[in-house]
């Protein structure tokens, strides 16, 4: 597997999220910095020379979406050649950006999210949201709307809803949050203690720790574009006790995540896929199989996320991207603050963004030979 990355160095980056054609960064000074993709690409081409076009395609234009013909040619050339790795460092201050202040009654950001053109900021002062339009004037002060006042640990979105994990105050759901009729103004408590939650496939999976999960069964209705919209949840009907459940109980994993009707369980240097029967209200676990190996590459796992054809795994001092065929690339990021992938995005499905003690990393993998065509 080839891997490559562009790194914004010497920047004050606590978190980052790429959306449409902008990279939104939260700085240590609690300001929102926005880089336009074209400016990032120009900087990468300037510093990376002939490799810049290839890296730009790989990071920002999966399947050629929005790519220039020069970038597409560069990608094909590399796909047809033998191994190639590239790392391109860009001083963060050398790329044009817009930076704005946000008037939040909070001391720290704990998570950020952008969904349907709306930015969400999970902070110790609550969950705030702000439309992504209008953030183009430097130094303007924006006043995001306070959505829920409980301190938030993380925010996630799916099924037309936003899930906000409020620690001991529980999991709160903003249902219909993108409804044109404005039904999504109130949050409902869906579960007790919550550190993070993931939505999808008719389920909300609430995590009380890195590994303790509970299933909520979602009821959905069809939205205006035929999409499934979450309208309510209830606890899974019972706690199931099959072989896979017992295995997880006996050998506590490092990390668990919910991905397309399966749990991905990281334990003893392996990522194990455990099927979940989402037709049953009990959400019983089904067969399991090992899908990636990372033993000897990373120690214990602090977080993990899925991208196209691979899994990105955060260790104590590095991020490993492990492909389905077990080929592994390790980015020496140092201690990580946040790691994100964008599996729902066509354009960024091969991208991992990481903020760490060594900068803001944008890591990509590929191409393999089938991508040359």
How many other C-beta atoms are found inside a 10 Å radius of the C-beta of residue 124?
16
Q: Which positions from 342 through 371 interact with other proteins, judged by CB under 8 A? A: 355-357
8 Å CB contact between 77 and 54: yes
Q: Which positions from 28 through 47 interact with other proteins, judged by CB under 8 A? A: 28
CA separation (Å) from 289 to 231, 261, 329, 371? 33, 14, 22, 27
Q: Which positions from 150 through 169 interact with other proteins, judged by CB under 8 A? A: 151, 153, 167-168
Q: Which of 38, 46, 81, 108 binds other proteins (CB under 8 A)?
A: 108
Give bridge partners of residue 293 from the DSSP assignment: 270
Considering the complex, what minimum distance in angstroms separates the CB of residue 34 from other proteins?
A: 19
Q: Is 46 helix (H, G, I), strand (E, B) or coil?
A: helix
Q: What is the separation of C-alpha 158 from the centre of its chain, rounded to a whole number of angstroms?
A: 12
Pattern of binders to other proteins over 303-342, x per CB under 8 A? --------------------------------xxxx----
Nearer of residues 2 and 208 to other proteins, judged by Cβ:
208
Nearer of residues 67 and 164 to other proteins, judged by Cβ:
164
Rule CB under 8 A: is residue 149 a binding residue for other proteins?
Answer: no
Q: Which positions from 234 through 263 interact with other proteins, judged by CB under 8 A? A: 252
- Considering Cα of 282, then 287, then 292, then 294, what sign does the dihedral take? positive
CA separation (Å) from 16 to 6, 25, 123, 359? 14, 4, 15, 11
Nearer of residues 216 and 248 to other proteins, judged by Cβ:
248
Considering the complex, what minimum distance in angstroms separates the CB of residue 164 from other proteins?
A: 15
Give me the helix-helix angle, 37-48 and 50-60, nearest 10°. Answer: 150
Pattern of binders to other proteins over 168-207, x per CB under 8 A? x------------------------x-x------------
Nearer of residues 62 and 360 to other proteins, judged by Cβ:
360
Contact range with other proteins by CB under 8 A, out of 51-59, 86-94, 102-110, 346-354: 102-110
CA angle 121, 122, 127 (to 5 degrees): 85
CA atoms within 13 A on the CB side of 365: 25
8 Å CB contact between 88 and 54: no
Number of chain residues interacting with other proteins (CB under 8 A): 31
Percent of the chain as helix, strand, coil, to the nearest 5: 15, 50, 40
Contact range with other proteins by CB under 8 A, out of 64-72, 104-112, 220-228, 322-330: 104-112
Rule CB under 8 A: is residue 88 a binding residue for other proteins?
Answer: no
8 Å CB contact between 41 and 51: no
Q: Which positions from 268 through 307 interact with other proteins, judged by CB under 8 A? A: 300, 302
- Give the whole-angstrom CA distance, residue 210 versus residue 301: 9
Q: Which residues bind other proteins (CB under 8 A)?
A: 12, 14-15, 28, 106-108, 110-111, 124, 151, 153, 167-168, 193, 195, 208-212, 252, 300, 302, 335-338, 355-357
């Amino acid at each position: 597997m080839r891997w490559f990355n562009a790194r914004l160095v010497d920047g004050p980056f606590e978190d980052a999220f790429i959306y449409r054609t902008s990279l939104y960064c939260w700085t240590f000074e609690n300001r929102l910095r926005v880089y336009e993709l074209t400016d990032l690409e120009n900087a990468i081409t300037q510093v990376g020379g002939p490799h810049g076009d290839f890296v730009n395609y790989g990071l920002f234009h999966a399947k050629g979406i929005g790519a220039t013909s020069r970038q597409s040619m560069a990608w094909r050339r590399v796909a047809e050649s033998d191994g190639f790795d590239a790392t391109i460092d860009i001083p963060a201050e050398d790329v044009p950006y817009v930076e704005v202040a946000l008037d939040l009654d909070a001391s720290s950001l704990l998570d950020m999210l952008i969904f349907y053109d709306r930015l969400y900021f999970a902070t110790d002062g609550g969950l705030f949201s702000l439309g992504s339009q209008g953030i183009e004037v430097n130094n303007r002060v924006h006043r995001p709307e306070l959505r829920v006042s409980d301190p938030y640990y993380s925010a996630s979105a799916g099924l037309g809803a936003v899930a906000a994990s409020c620690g001991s105050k529980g999991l709160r759901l903003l249902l219909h949050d993108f409804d044109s009729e404005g039904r999504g103004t109130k949050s409902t408590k869906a579960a007790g203690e919550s550190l993070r939650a993931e939505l999808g496939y008719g389920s909300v999976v609430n995590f009380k720790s890195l590994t303790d999960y509970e299933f909520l069964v979602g009821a959905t209705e069809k939205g205006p574009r035929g999409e499934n919209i979450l309208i309510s949840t209830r606890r899974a009907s019972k706690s199931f006790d099959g072989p896979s459940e017992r295995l997880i109980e006996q050998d506590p994993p490092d990390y668990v995540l919910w991905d397309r009707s399966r749990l991905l369980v990281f334990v003893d240097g392996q990522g194990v896929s455990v099927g979940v029967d989402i037709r049953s209200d009990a959400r019983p676990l089904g067969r399991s199989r090992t899908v990636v190996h990372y033993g000897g590459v990373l120690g214990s796992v602090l977080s993990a996320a899925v991208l196209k054809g691979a899994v990105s795994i955060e260790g104590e001092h590095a991020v490993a991207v492990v492909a389905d065929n077990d080929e592994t690339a390790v980015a020496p990021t140092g201690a990580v603050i946040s790691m994100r992938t964008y599996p729902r995005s066509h354009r960024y499905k091969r991208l991992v963004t990481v903020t760490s003690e060594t900068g803001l990393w944008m890591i990509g993998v590929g191409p393999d030979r089938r991508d040359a065509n």
